[in-house]
Structure 1
């Protein structure tokens, strides 16, 4: 893939939109958000626009915050690997970046599922590696609290090593299927791992042959120190929370320095910051859409969300008072990326209510509201400056903002020569400009 063309991923986490209260909007979907046709139409629009991929976030539980979650936000969603297996059957070219946790499953299960979907989709799947930071998730897997932050990332690193080895356990030319001789596969090209590590003991080999892409594309989204190091060691796409162009350039330089320590080149990793686009026929119309979404947010929900990210129950403090002292990132076992974002705003003089409303709406991902040309201007500026290789498009309201972007902004980017007009041949990995990994066993 030429650096002249940006990568575009259409993100969905909340099935009604990435504004936390978008489900209240009169044009938001109703109960159909649990039906397959709803997702098939969204993905169909993205594929018609020639987007690279759909990015599906996930949690292993219902967010309940300090108690208002089920009442105002609960956010149930379909299990993403099941959904993508179905969507891959009704699409031909678009890719799928699917979130799966390393904290509450085993490498064999994950390797087998992703290898299977990579075969089913003919090389169009990616794995967004997460370590699961919410206590609501831990409590669904026999725990009373999170796994320690350092342990989560140590486990994740070994998990990735084992998963890659399982994908490599069948060399590309291992299967013969010689009916005359009766030789099904070359035994010397099917490998036992016999892995015995700190967290896992896995014999192997995998009972699925090597995926079409070698490995599904590896994606990582954490921006803590441990998260960025994991990305530098393993990831090929990094979803980053970046607030402006200068920050994006500095963030990229930091990632490139970390890549070098692992013997990797900058082109081996694509940086995709999140951005929330709202498109209007005029700038004032886009601004009105944004302002209306803000009226849907409830103080109780906003404070609950902020409390979860900050690691402090802020509901016991005066809402119009200052932010209290927050935990230090180094000692925090929750979501350190979110804590860092909250701490970065401590000195802005905002009250608890003001910060809660500000950060709960977008999660500190930049919101771009304007005409199609104005939205394209900002994407182009970040891309050409080197702050981004592309964007994770986090639409505030589904399906409206998603559809508007596909039919209005994408043609503008195509007109400028910044985005494809037709899909190139090959796998998702090929289209992202990422090399197919060599087989570790074959190298030996």
Structure 2
């Protein structure tokens, strides 16, 4: 009997420049222009690679307001940025966000396919439908796509992109100079897709990369989001706060993937964390309390409102009951917004309490390096996660995690000490997808 390889913790790093909250940009150790400084990204990507992380991740969204968090106000476009990182690193995966609501499949297939070639098989696409309704007006629309339409459109969008990535069979280019044959024309395939939302002929003018296709990531909390992730995603950036929530989400998503006929082990659940690490638990708790106390309530109210399309929560009495804003959750960050409403109503939270609870990243991994490593182990062994995405802004926090926590995870046998692969699929334990045109005829017909 073939022995199954031991399950391995996965680690990623969100490179978020001056920060996605409203206070971290004031850290004296952080350059004020980090979000637009390619050297900052290169330095941190190389540090993550030296620590053997699986990937770095660049978040994005197509809408801002004057009250938006500092990093979102002034940042580099993900694909351009990741292309620079591709030639500045050699092993680590490179994942970027791009919306299916305001792009076209052919462009996306070409961009991520190109990044996959530039990086020699390390590209990943975080598929989002865009939760911010204001984005519509930046792309010639008066109204945002309806939530259900966004997810329906996203599913077809990914199908088209993956079909375009298969435009050439792997041996389509003999490049026989003596015979004068560059392309075997029988191995170039048009897609000729005609669907509800897209009509794309193809073929894409780009061959497949070493890992076959870029890895698909997704982040969905609502029922529609979970269904889409279970069908298309190979990594999911889960939005969970507690261990119990994470266990439920993990089991539900894996079950949905299995119901789609997929191997649940080919879908990694990876929530984001912002650990606070110090020499002792007491010191770390003091840092966490000081950071929480430094956050102005007006800024927390803005972050609370972001889930509801930047709804203005400043209009309500701070110590009054959380208002009925359930109607605002229907077409924005639906799953997250509905969760805020549900918990706020169940626990009778005031506006202030809701802002303090939901208006910032949760520091749910706080303590000494040993405490944080043990908690990561508990979540991993307890099947709450397959790994974590570390939120990187302050250089000291990132250094403590790399230098103090990662060695403990390695000593526990949970995390690699050296890369065994040089593609993102290899790092994540994912197979190279077979080109649809080289499958058996029955399989092609079934698809």
TM-score range, shorter chain: over 0.9
Distance in 2, matches of 1:313 and 1:372, equals: 39
State the number of aligned residues: 435
Distance in 1, matches of 2:54 and 2:227, equals: 26
Q: CA deviation at 1:216?
A: 0.4
Residues 308-323 of structure 1 correspond to what in structure 2 (within 5 A)? 308-310=306-308, 312-323=311-322
Distance in 2, matches of 1:108 and 1:254, equals: 32
Distance in 1, matches of 2:20 and 2:433, equals: 34
Aligned position for 1:136: 134
Aligned position for 1:389: 386
Deviation by residue 1:363-393 (Cα, 9 ceiling, x = unmatched):
xx45211111110011000101111111111
- 1:374 and 2:377 are equivalent in the alignment: no
SS in 1 for 2:103: coil
- 1:437 and 2:394 are equivalent in the alignment: no
Distance in 1, matches of 2:142 and 2:47, equals: 42
Say which is worse superposed, 339-348 or 41-50, in terms of deviation: 339-348
Cα pair 2:302 2:359 within 8 Å, conserved: no
- 1:105 and 2:103 are equivalent in the alignment: yes
Unaligned 5+ residue runs, structure 1?
none
Deviation by residue 1:9-45 (Cα, 9 ceiling, x = unmatched):
1113x42234442113333321243111111111111
Cα pair 1:240 1:274 within 8 Å, conserved: yes
- 1:348 and 2:347 are equivalent in the alignment: yes
Q: CA deviation at 1:422?
A: 0.6
Aligned mate of 2:177, from 176, 179, 200: 179
Distance in 2, matches of 1:210 and 1:121, equals: 13
Aligned position for 1:254: 252
Aligned position for 2:261: 263
TM-score, normalization: structure 2? 0.93
Distance in 2, matches of 1:142 and 1:295, equals: 41
SS in 2 for 1:393: strand
Deviation by residue 1:109-158 (Cα, 9 ceiling, x = unmatched):
00001111111101111110001111232221112332111111111011
Deviation by residue 1:338-384 (Cα, 9 ceiling, x = unmatched):
2033124212233212221221121xx45211111110011000101
Distance in 2, matches of 1:34 and 1:231, equals: 31
Q: CA deviation at 1:412?
A: 1.0
SS in 1 for 2:174: strand
Alpha-carbon spacing, 1:370–1:17, altered in 2? closer, same or farther (3 Å): farther
Deviation by residue 1:202-230 (Cα, 9 ceiling, x = unmatched):
11000111122111010011111111111
Distance in 2, matches of 1:317 and 1:246, equals: 31
Aligned mate of 1:26, from 17, 25, 28: 28
Deviation by residue 1:50-95 (Cα, 9 ceiling, x = unmatched):
1111111111132x2xx6338x775321101111100110111111
Aligned position for 2:14: 11
SS in 1 for 2:186: helix
Higher relative contact order (CA 8 A, sep 6+): 1
Distance in 2, matches of 1:287 and 1:366, equals: 10
Aligned mate of 1:195, from 193, 196, 221: 193
Aligned position for 1:410: 406
Residues 144-159 of structure 1 correspond to what in structure 2 (within 5 A)? 144-159=142-157
Distance in 2, matches of 1:49 and 1:171, equals: 36
Distance in 2, matches of 1:92 and 1:27, equals: 27
Aligned mate of 2:41, from 11, 15, 39: 39
Q: CA deviation at 1:98?
A: 0.9
Aligned mate of 2:242, from 241, 244, 266: 244
Unaligned 5+ residue runs, structure 2?
none
Distance in 2, matches of 1:232 and 1:272, equals: 14
Distance in 1, matches of 2:161 and 2:179, equals: 33
TM-score, normalization: structure 1? 0.93
- 1:422 and 2:421 are equivalent in the alignment: no
Cα pair 1:135 1:144 within 8 Å, conserved: no
Alpha-carbon spacing, 1:2–1:328, altered in 2? closer, same or farther (3 Å): farther
Say which is worse superposed, 43-52 or 2-11, in terms of deviation: 2-11
Alpha-carbon RMSD across the aligned residues, in angstroms, is 1.9
